[in-house]
Structure 1
Amino acid sequence: MFIKNSTTQHPDGFLNKTPIFQFLLLSSVFALWSAAAALNDVLITQFRAIFDLSNFASALVQSAFYGAYFLVAIPASMVVKKASYKFAILLGLGLYILGCLMFFPASLAGTYTMFLAAIFCIAIGLSFLETSCNTYSAMIGEPERATLRLNISHTINAMGYIIGLLLGKYLIFQEGVDVEHMMNTLTGAELEAFKVQVLQQTLTPYKWLVGIIATVATLIAITEYPKCKSTMGQTTQTAQPSFGETLTYLMNNKRFFKGIITQFAYVGMQVAVWSFTIRLALDLDHTMVERDAANYLLYAFIMYFLGKLVANYLFTKTSQENVLMGYSAIGVVCLLYVTFVNDFSAVWFAVGTSALFAPCWATIFASTLQSVDTRYTETAGGFVVMSIIGGAAIPVVQGLLADSIGMQSSFIVNAVCFSVVFFYFMNEKKHKQAFTYNNTVSA
């Protein structure tokens, strides 16, 4: 290894200090997977016009992407357990590169299914990355600073959305070109030549990504990383529960089940809103072209980044339940405005809603695991990660509604999803208040 690790590992897997270079390199991977997710939102708009797709069919981009997460999350966690965090990260980056390279034959074949296969391969790689990197970021340093490290990594993750959108806007969308209008007006050989040109444009950001991913993977490969795995043996007095026992326990844990449903609804809502923001802007302003409409998704990602900073501050002033109840209540109002106010201001409300998404994933994740006995935490965490399948389901539901009742009206799906988040944290607040009261009385 060319870049050595000079830290000491404790028996619990944590380190005596955070190796700064290793941590920053690890955190850069967070930006790589959010950049891919942001590009999907651009591809949905582009593919809908090129392949003459319905909103439902174009949303299958997200189904391919998040469906892979659902299928691979548990196998990825097993790779981490059997091998190492570093191996799982390098495997994920390799699959990410393979998926990007699959865009080349897909553009030549010119078929929607080939592009979906490439996106699916990318998502398999990203599933390995998310499964390994989130835990590793928390472990790679002192235990008391685990939350701080995760917050830093996820702040970089938010920046990745902005970078990915900029790549899509300037490298896929052509300035001043309305793809849908061109597809409706051109015929014959001119139409076929235009389709080939547009599909070739989709390759450009993935060429950049291949170079960036390969550079990051090389740096990780030549860098010595600590194992960050516990060396403490299991006690003979406490047998580890079987998978069947764990599954029975979790199925009978109502708080855990509510957390799974809430994470499903939240991820689906976030993906759906971002998937159709560009489409909403185009529907409400027919003079706008795709490249200009992409600005509104860029603003949404900036709001998402700022929302994280504000939420982190509010968490120091009040409980996470109060913060999330406030965020989700305002979010429901914003999404109802988007649904029912037939004016371009609805796009700005959709953009503003992204700031309210910021603290949801991590807070729902942590709150759901808090409802589980520590003996079942590892498996429970895997199921929470699998609830990301909401990102495959909700956009398709909204796409179906958009085809039948209109794009703007279809945003009612997201208002319902944010309501689920509100009621979940209202119930969590009541549970904690009751727990505190009972402990006070018994004392």
Structure 2
Amino acid sequence: MAGRNGRTVRDLRRANRTAVLQRLYFDGPLSRFELGPATGLSSGSVSNVVADLIADGLLEEAGSVDSDGGRPRTLLRVAPGSGHMIGVDVGETRVRVELFDLTLTELARAERPLERQGYAVETIVGHIRDGIAEVLAASGIDAQHLLGVGIGVPGIVQHTPERGAVVHGQTIGWDAAPLEALLRDGSPLPGTVPYFIDNGAKTLGQAEMWFGGGRGAGNAVVVLFGSGVGACLVTPDVEHGRAVEWGHLTVRVRGRRCRCGALGCLEAYAGAESLLARWAEEGGSIPPGTDEEAALTAMLAAAYPPEGADPDPVALAVLEETAEYLGAGLSDLINLFQPERILIGGWAGLQLGPRFLPAVRRHATAYALRHPAQKVTIELGRLGPDAVTVGAAILPLADFFARGGRGPEPTAAGPAPAWRTALQERAPR
């Protein structure tokens, strides 16, 4: 039965389960007595929801605390083994696959390095499938128990009713790549296990907002600085974040050609790939046979050698120019969105951060409007190089919470009955 606002009793129960689960997940362990004020539910509702969640195996006891003169209060927490998720980071140097329990403790991981010619979508699909099989075998987890597989990818992700997630990755040569359909075709996973595919900067942002430097901020920008650059905007209107193609903002008219084909993009000056290319063009010595991460390490060592040694002036100049471009790019984000915080993550951002951050802050402040620049803090992300993978795993976890801790509902074969379609069309939006 639906109420005046269109919500059914089932909707209300799901919302109550979600409220209790999320409060225990982020702030637990808590007692039933504490859950009432924390969730806004009555003591009766808390008791009923907790009983349901314990019966479903989602909650477990976690000791007790003394009460004011009465019996000790039992503490509750989310049971770590009550669900599992897989997070996948389709990076530009490797594909990383990690298996987590419900509390995002890593249980197993697999990595596949990528060659420069290894970005064909079929190659990536193969790496993801192999990585999923590897982590499941290593952990002994039954694939039937997965809440889902979250995947962070470079590019714009379009969710279509016919083919699922389609990736428009111009910089990696993907033109409307039907990634979800390809993964499902011949997948070793059961058809009930959902895929959640989104932009890698958004999954990084999701992780930092839930568990990292973004906690408590209502308005933040999380920057992914790797081979290229991207960003995720989180505001009260976009609670779970929105990926913005910040790397393809034009910072120099008729400038360097970007991987996307345009001229003068920020990524053509601030991405690690272009940074290394500019060093090589100026005579820098990149060790042969090294990947981008090792090459950037060599460049940093040349620019900032041990005390007493002379720095490579070319490496130092390129890094300083890159810091200015990155700061100028951040100033655009500050002026456009006026965030409380900007967090810089990604493998290159974390590697360069300790040396880079003071100059980046200085340039961002110099190029931005004074009022929003005075209100923003610019810091490094706190979750390290696995942040995209963790954020990808959060995608199925967030869906699990939204459904009140229940598994995905099976998809009915064939079209929905006419009466169901008519009711859905009449339901208030």
With a CA cutoff of 8 Å and minimum separation of 6, indicate the structure with the bigger relative contact order: 1
**Higher percent of residues as helix:** 1
- TM-score bin (small chain): under 0.3
TM-score when normalising by structure 2: 0.24
Structure 1 length normalisation: TM-score? 0.23
Higher Cα radius of gyration:
2
